[in-house]
């Protein structure tokens, strides 16, 4: 992918942009939804944000009154609980289990108490890579609607999926849901700090006000790059195939040394593995591993403060040779 950023920077073309991103980039995002989800999303439904992180933060800030209960799954992405707490909201954990790929089910949503005001749904999920099927998602959203629970659907790992049929967007099932996405994962632009929100027009206007006050506008250099990446779906899909190869390799290698207690992820690029036969303090296990052999895993306790000490999370969004070298070191170390 060739983008002459150096030349552009020398031309000093980068100032502030609209606080919810340039019209050009928002148009690209709405075209992306037409192409991949057959969704009619107008420019007024799109806000470009400073990463999905800012999208999650601003959505929670605007939508919920102090003290409201927000449901999230456990294990889950650690920043959800941290942002909820930082905003003086309250976390309601939904424990998920291996027999359902650690994912949310309609029954779990049905069982939510009446005081839940919002829910963050994450599919494919971090740290387990489980996917909620379209049918299940539709039912979950229906139940949320009937219980007046506002849905924030974090779709950051969409298109990093290993099954033939890719997930649909929650916005296609319920136009009242808020969708969070990002250039960080499928589009490989973690350091550019750029994401987007899809929501109804009034909500997007509120995000416009918030982002104007928080950071004025998302990075204009990043937006310049981001509008080009929609020309390269084939390239990004080829990277997803590499992740799949890495996933299969990682699983087979772990199994060959007797580590079998894991869920095969159908999306994202993480493997959540039960290591309780080696250690039941995941933080200590990861700390010793990184200091002894320089290989970093994420401790399960970060994702699940109840059962996480029995787990670690591998990431396989790397070159296969790095995976090979790391696994060699891990095998000798264990
Ligand atoms: C589930 C999930 N949501 C949001 C984020 C934040 O992404 P961004 O880099 O777009 O801020 C991450 C990052 O790892 C993530 O795993």
State the pairing for strand pair 270-274/311-315: antiparallel
Among residues 231, 263, 295, the one where a domain terminates is 231
Q: What's the pLDDT score for residue 140? A: 98
pLDDT of residue 1: 56
Distance 177 CA to ligand 1 centre (A): 18
What is the overall mean pLDDT for the chain?
A: 96
Contacts of 82 (CB under 8 A, 6+ apart): none
Q: Using a 6 Å cutoff on CB, does residue 317 contact ligand 1? A: no
Q: What are the pLDDT digits (tens) for 111-169?
A: 999 999 999 999 999 999 999 999 999 999 999 999 999 999 999 999 999 998 899 99
| Total domains in the fold of the chain | 2
Rounded to two decimals, the pTM is: 0.97
CATH number at residue 79: 3.40.640.10
* Average pLDDT of span 45-54: 98
State the pLDDT at residue 87.
98
- Report CA torsion sign: 134, 136, 137, 141: positive
Task: Answer yes or no: is the C-beta of 182 below 6 A from any ligand 1 atom.
Answer: yes
What integer is the mean pLDDT of 86-112?
97
The pLDDT, as a whole number, for residue 13 is: 80
The residue whose CA has the least distance to atom 7 of ligand 1 is 52
Q: Which atom of ligand 1 is nearest to the CA of 195?
A: 10
Q: Is the shortest distance between the CB of 184 and ligand 1 below 6 Å?
A: yes
Decide if 152 contacts 120 (C-beta within 8 A).
yes
> Tell me, what's the pLDDT at 11?
86
Distance 52 CA to ligand 1 centre (A): 6
Q: Is residue 3 part of a domain?
A: no
Please tell me the distance between residue 53's alpha carbon and the centre of ligand 1 in angstroms. 6
Range of the domain at 170: 15-231
Residues 242 and 322 grouped into a single domain: yes
pLDDT one-digit tens code per residue, 22-34: 999 999 999 999 9
Name the DSSP letter for residue 270: E
Q: Can you give the pLDDT at residue 67?
A: 98
| Domain-ending residue, one of 231, 254, 282 | 231
What's the confidence (pLDDT) of residue 2?
63
Q: Last residue of a domain, which of 231, 256, 286?
A: 231
Task: Please write the tens of the pLDDT for every residue from 242-297.
Answer: 999 999 999 999 999 999 999 999 999 999 999 999 999 999 999 999 999 999 99
CA of 154 relative to ligand 1 center, distance in Å: 9
pLDDT band, very low/low/confident/very high, at 324 (cuts 50, 70, 90): very high
Burial of 246 (0-12, 13-18, 19+ CB in 10 A): buried
- Local confidence band at 5 (pLDDT 50, 70, 90 cut-offs): confident
**Strand partners for 151:** 119
């Amino acid at each position: 992918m060739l983008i002459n950023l150096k030349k552009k920077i020398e031309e000093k073309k980068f100032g502030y942009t609209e606080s919810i991103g340039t019209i050009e980039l928002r148009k690209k995002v709405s075209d992306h939804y037409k192409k991949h989800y057959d969704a009619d999303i107008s420019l007024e439904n799109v806000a470009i944000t400073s990463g999905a992180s800012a999208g999650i933060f601003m959505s929670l800030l605007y939508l919920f009154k102090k003290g409201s209960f927000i449901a999230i799954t456990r294990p889950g992405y650690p920043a959800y609980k941290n942002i909820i707490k930082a905003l003086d909201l309250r976390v309601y954990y939904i424990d998920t289990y291996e027999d359902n790929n650690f994912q949310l089910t309609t029954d779990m949503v049905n069982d939510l108490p009446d005081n839940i005001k919002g829910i963050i749904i994450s599919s494919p999920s971090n740290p387990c890579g489980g996917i909620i099927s379209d049918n299940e998602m539709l039912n979950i959203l229906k139940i949320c609607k009937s219980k007046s629970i506002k849905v924030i659907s974090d779709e950051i790992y969409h298109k990093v999926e290993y099954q033939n049929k890719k997930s649909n967007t929650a916005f296609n099932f319920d136009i009242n849901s808020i969708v969070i996405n990002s250039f960080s994962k499928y589009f490989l632009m973690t350091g550019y700090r750029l994401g987007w929100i899809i929501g109804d027009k009034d909500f997007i206007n509120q995000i416009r006000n918030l982002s104007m006050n928080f950071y004025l506008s998302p990075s204009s250099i990043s937006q310049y790059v981001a509008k080009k990446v929609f020309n390269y779906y084939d390239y990004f899909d080829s990277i997803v195939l590499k992740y799949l190869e890495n996933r299969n390799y990682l699983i087979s290698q772990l199994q060959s040394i007797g580590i079998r207690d894991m869920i095969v992820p159908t999306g994202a690029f993480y493997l959540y593995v039960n290591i309780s036969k080696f250690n039941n303090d995941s933080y200590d296990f990861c700390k010793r591993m990184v200091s002894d052999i320089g290989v970093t895993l994420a401790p399960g306790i970060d994702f699940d403060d109840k059962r996480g000490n029995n787990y670690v999370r591998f990431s396989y969004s790397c070159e296969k040779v790095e995976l090979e070298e790391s696994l060699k070191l891990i095998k000798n170390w264990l």
